[in-house]
Chains A and B, each alone.
Chain A
Amino acid sequence: MENYKYIGQSVQKIDGKEKVTGAALYTDDLEFGPDLLYAEIVESTHAHAFIKNIDTSRAEEIPDVLAVVTGKDFPFKFGLYMKDRFIFAQDRVRFYGEQVAAVIARTPKAAKLGAKNIRVNYQPIDAVIKQLDSIKEDAELLHPDLENYVHVPWFFPKDKTNIAHHRKIRKGDMDKAFSEADHIFEEQYEVPRYSHCAIEPHAAVAKFDLSGRLTVWASSQSPHTQRHIFAEALSFMGIRHNDVRVIAPHVGGGFGSKAGVTMEIIAAAIATKYPGHPIKIIWNREREFFNTYQRPGVITKLKMGVKNDGTITALKHELFWDAGAYVEYAANVVNAVGLSAMGPYKVDNVQIDSYCIYTNLPPTGPYRGFGYSEFLFGLESLITQVAHKLNIDPVKIRRINAIKEGDTLAYGAHMNPNGLHQCIDKVAKEIEWDKKESSPHKNKVIGKGFSLFWKAPAMPPNASSACFLKFNEDASINILVSGMDIGQGYLTVMAQIAGEILSINPNKIRVENPDTDRNPYEWQTVASHITWSCGNAVKNAALNAKNQILELVARCKYLPIDTLFLEDEKVKCTTKANFELDLKDFIITGLQMEDGTFKGGPIIASGTFMPQFTSTKANPETGQGGHPNVHYTVGAAALKLEIDTETGKMKILKAVEAIDGGKILNPSLAKGQIIGGLLQGISTVLYEDMRFDHRGKMLNPNFTDYKIPTALDIPDEIVPILVEVAQPDGPFGARGIGEHPMIPAAPMIANAIEDALGIRIKSMPITAEKLCLAILNSSKTNINNK
């Protein structure tokens, strides 16, 4: 391994001081002056209904109410991967809480009063709440004109059904593989919806000035993608991309919820109807739960063929996704899982059917893990069940089948270099897998659970990143990029990459959240791809700057360029020990020649990156032929779970998670992702429990009734393990790790419960209440001796 100065160091976060002093400004903290207006939306009170008419007259008479906007003002669709949404509902509403109209007012109070006074006359339609009902022949269609929707070429909607996309994988010979298997196992699992619960709710402020310029300030993971969608949606007004400016301040947590476009488009659109004033929309906590994206729910049916020795011969995996009323982003979750639902295993015969199903529940979309947490709950549960039935150790069966570099993926391409087997070994050792443990407390038992995980970035094949780099007089640097630091430490890591190449301390490099007018293109901060993709763009920009510097010095000092190098803000020479030039003496002002003239000028550089080996062109019937994913990040995890058999209450005594992030650029930040992400995953198993009534209304959209963990609910101990098998095309060998830590949480806990009690829970969440009932219902009498 090379000897790096800043790469691989636990550098302090470059935005850390802002955050601990209260200086960090988030969207709602920005000052817009006394002309700021406020908007409030009117929400649908039906999950599925035709809108007969909207009476805005009473609202319009309220003092300080300035304008009312409805669907009539914006009769066109938008969406990231599939245009299936309107800014406001048109002739029908498709989920409880959908925006029907907005009131713009001088004060928040007047806006709220105005919204209350808008009368909407509905004609209810049968609401489809469950995804398996939605695919029945006689189900009410949510989108009767689905066949006309514009979508990316890798989606396959089924006309006159509620199936928005069906991703198929067919690899090998399933009949032969099942007939040759010694055992066949079939199971069904269910994972419900979840909410991201970023502590900062969505916020957007938009101003359409009198010259026709639209500026949007938003809490966002995707400033450029938002600009693109706003510009496309408003193109009928003659708005071009460079008329739209998105400014993204600090983001108070994203986890996928602030990717793509949700409520921000309301701000952008209504601003054009009331020009000349900034208009603010802030989501309250309720709307944060049901009108951004939720994580989709899924019912999975698995059939696995296995040899006596534990080798998996075939895997059939059907996934029925409850994707909600609009799936413009969720359909790509369904697609990503369709490509990867064989899990991190070598399986030669694979059949996957991943169905994106419309329901009259809130729209779903990206959530940290992008569908992988959901399908691995079933797959990693099943593999453990299979191991028990074949009397093979659950870790051993994983070692037998775990994928290796070069193995064929479900879509026919080959697996990237990875350290999955190292991860398995390290986790098994740290959790003392072979040691059975019992609790000193009466009524308490201890079980251990193991799980593998993997995930690839899901993105268009040509998603790209770009970077501008400019030096200042004192050799400090400003880097302009358009990824978002949503807490993961992206800005810091970009400074480390440039600092390493230019031999400048990252604390002299300023990298800030973007303004699309000033900062170059970035697709989105999603998919755990930003360190890899934007890191490559920053690396290319830094190499470009370095080359300019060395070329200038070589030209002016008559030295061969290959003898020059950068060290501690100086240019030095391998053949002349005494030669050194301080960057600050020439980086802006140039180098003076003997005749008094100057050469050079301000050093500014740029770099871009786009993967050039990816393709979504594949046979739609088999999924074979393309190369949709850039690479997979893999890992293994285990935990030790103590269960109170009288109450069902669970306590995690120790959790271990190993992840292969390629070259780890900043171990402190990487460990932070593991510890935080794992708790977010554990929370979906033990605490979070989303409820809807039969009409599709969410019943617990608040932190009192939808529980997320406090400091008292964390595991006693978490051991993060970093494995480093380099990603050949990553910056310094890095690949992403942001989403992955939460993925194995659910199967790990289900597996530990089975280890302790012999009870298999096949649906999430696994709350104390659910486990307690399962224990009561269990026929096992000697659970305390297990």
Chain B
Amino acid sequence: MKKINFILNGEKRQIYVEASDILLEVLRQKMGLTSPKCGCDNGDCGACTIILNGKSVRSCLIFAIEIDGMEILTVEGLSKNGMTPLQESLLTHNSFQCGYCAPGMILSATELLKVNPKPSVEEIKECIAGNLCRCTGYQPIIDAITDLTK
């Protein structure tokens, strides 16, 4: 067991982890944050996406021990002070159906809009191409993001 320190959704946290503990499992089981989901455990589906030091990453592919000293943002943190304009837009467009991919999709798009507030449709598609959605055909998600760039 090793002690790691990190910032989770703005709060300083300290926990003990095994070298083999996967970050996704630690977030869900030890930290009680359930918005990152497990869809494939293989880095394919993007449902476990979180923002680590400002960049979107797949938490199922990262060992918890690697994040010592880093900063993590999940959708719980993003929504702390109310919904962001992105979340509002996704809500009014009825963008999601089952919603399982939503947390990961939202974080990928959040990262994009931070570095590129006026992305083209192609840039939006490229950005969320790592987040699989089986319900929506993606178009209502793309529309909601595009609306924010107008």
Contacts and interface: CB of A to CB of B under 8 A. Distances in A.
Interface stretch (A98-106, A137-145, A245-253, A575-583): A245-253
B110 to A, nearest CB: 12
B129 interface: yes
Interface string A1-39: 000000000101101111111111110110100000000
A199 B96 contact: no
A711 B83 contact: no
Of the listed residues A28, A197, A672, A680, the one surrounded by the most CB atoms of chain B closer than 10 A to its CB is: A672
11 contacts: A17-B91, A20-B83, A20-B87, A22-B74, A252-B98, A253-B98, A669-B94, A672-B140, A679-B137, A711-B133, A718-B139
A26 B47 CA distance: 13
B42 A712 contact: no
Nearest to B79: A21
Please list the 6 inter-chain residue pairs (A to B) with the smallest Cβ-Cβ separation, ordered nearest first: A487-B97, A252-B100, A19-B99, A22-B35, A487-B98, A22-B75
A24 to B, nearest CB: 5
Interface of B: 28, 32, 34-35, 37-42, 44-45, 47, 74-76, 78-79, 83, 87, 90-92, 94, 96-103, 106, 124-126, 128-142
A711 B75 contact: no
Contacts of B92: 12
B100 A253 contact: yes
A302 interface: no
Nearest to B36: A22
Interface residues of A, number: 56
A67 interface: no
Given A199-B47, A487-B98, A253 B135 contact: yes
Contacts of B130: 710
Interface stretch (A444-452, A701-709, A757-765): A701-709
Given A199-B133, A672-B140, A28 B38 contact: yes
A710 B87 contact: no
A261 B116 CA distance: 46
A161 B102 CA distance: 47
Contact of B138 (A284, A488, A711): A711
A486 B96 CA distance: 11
Contacts of B96: 13, 16, 19-20, 487
A198 interface: yes
A704 B42 contact: yes
A200 B100 contact: yes
A510 interface: no
Given A20-B90, A22-B103, A714-B138, A201 B129 contact: no
Nearest to A203: B38
A28 B106 CA distance: 20
B140 to A, nearest CB: 6
A672 B37 contact: no
A25 B34 contact: yes
A97 B108 CA distance: 35
B134 A197 contact: yes
Given A200-B100, A251-B98, A285 B132 contact: no
A16 B129 contact: no
A20 B83 CA distance: 8
Interface string A694-736: 0000000011100011111010001000000000000000000
Contact of A708 (B38, B47, B134): B134
Contacts of B131: 711
Contacts of B35: 22
Interface string A84-119: 000000000000000000000000000000000000
Given A16-B96, A20-B90, A201-B39, A487 B74 contact: no
Contacts of A252: 37, 39, 98-100
Contact of B45 (A21, A199, A284, A677): A199
A226 B74 CA distance: 34
Of the listed residues A19, A20, A677, the one surrounded by the most CB atoms of chain B closer than 10 A to its CB is: A20
Nearest to A28: B38
A676 interface: yes
Interface in A607-624: none
A250 to B, nearest CB: 7
A762 to B, nearest CB: 27
A494 to B, nearest CB: 16
Nearest to A704: B44
Interface string A515-535: 000000000000000000000
A19 B102 contact: yes
A704 B124 CA distance: 22
Given A13-B94, A285-B41, A710 B132 contact: yes
Contacts of B78: 22
A686 interface: no
Of the listed residues B74, B83, B100, B103, the one surrounded by the most CB atoms of chain A closer than 10 A to its CB is: B100
A201 B42 CA distance: 13
A672 B99 contact: no
Of the listed residues A12, A21, A702, the one surrounded by the most CB atoms of chain B closer than 10 A to its CB is: A21
Nearest to A254: B98
Contacts of B47: 199
A197 B101 CA distance: 13
Contact of B98 (A17, A31, A486, A718): A486
Contacts of B44: 702-704
Given A22-B79, A25-B34, A718-B139, A680 B134 contact: yes
B42 A488 contact: no
Contacts of A677: 137
Given A254-B98, A676-B136, A711-B125, 19 more contacts: A16-B96, A20-B87, A22-B34, A22-B35, A22-B79, A198-B98, A252-B37, A252-B39, A252-B99, A252-B100, A253-B135, A285-B39, A672-B97, A676-B97, A678-B137, A708-B132, A708-B134, A711-B133, A711-B138
Nearest to B126: A712
